[in-house]
Structure 1
Amino acid sequence: MIDSIKNVSSLSLTRGLNEAFSSNSVSATETPQLAPGENTGLDFASVIGGMAKDAVNNIKQAEISSFQGLKGQATTREVVDAVLNAEQSLQTAMALRDKIVSAYLEITKMQI
């Protein structure tokens, strides 16, 4: 689903929206009904781990793009796009970390 969202962000408002949603996406009518407690195949740790890997890869790509820009092998726009993408990934990771820490602190305050 995230891949289809990334595809949508790179499209214009009138071109290719059907292609973005038709590839690798599941419509609401196709979702299987799960019984309570049934394993969906994804767990919290794997989702967070994937997000962390994506953030690290974005930061590495921004660094590589910056070096290419210094060597004259990349345009200014490519460098700025990569750096802004890395900054957004880092800000998202920090916001997620803050929410997790806040949730943990709330749980530790609960009376049993």
Structure 2
Amino acid sequence: MSIGALDAVSAYGRVLGAGKAPAITENEGAGDSGGAFGNMVEKLIGDAATSMRSAEAASAQQVAGKGDLIDVVTAVGAAETALDTVVAVRDRMVNAYSEIMRMQI
């Protein structure tokens, strides 16, 4: 069974919405750069999921004969770019974690 990129991002979006962590205010995360990075990653994933949903909606409208092909191509291109960005950030995070785990104490 093959899982497409839209299915994966939709699943991530549902999981992200279901396990919503409490929001950190500016005062709580002031001395902690990890919170800022976490918020950036959360926003990045949320934006990617939103662009995937809009691409899926544009595709559905096109299939129904109500949408414009240019809008579909633009929305899919934006969604692809967002997903590529999320994957690149994930790969960098995994590489950094692997290097940290290889360090000798």
**Same fold per TM (> 0.5)?**
yes
CA–CA distance in structure 2, aligned partners of residues 91 and 43 of structure 1: 21
Q: Does 1:86 align with 2:79?
A: yes
Q: Does 1:59 align with 2:62?
A: no
Partner of residue 31, structure 1: none
CA–CA distance in structure 1, aligned partners of residues 40 and 89 of structure 2: 12
Q: Deviating runs (4+, > 6 A) in structure 1?
A: none
Using the aligned pairs only, state the percent identity: 36
CA–CA distance in structure 2, aligned partners of residues 61 and 43 of structure 1: 27
Deviation of 1:72 after TM superposition, in Å, equals 1.7
CA–CA distance in structure 2, aligned partners of residues 72 and 40 of structure 1: 50
If each structure's helix is expressed as a fraction of its own residues, which one has the higher value? 2
5+ residue gaps, structure 2, are 1-29
> Which structure's relative contact order is higher, taking Cα pairs within 8 Å and 6+ residues apart?
2
Normalization by structure 1: what TM-score? 0.62
RMSD: 1.8
5+ residue gaps, structure 1, are 1-37
- Paired letter, 1:103: A
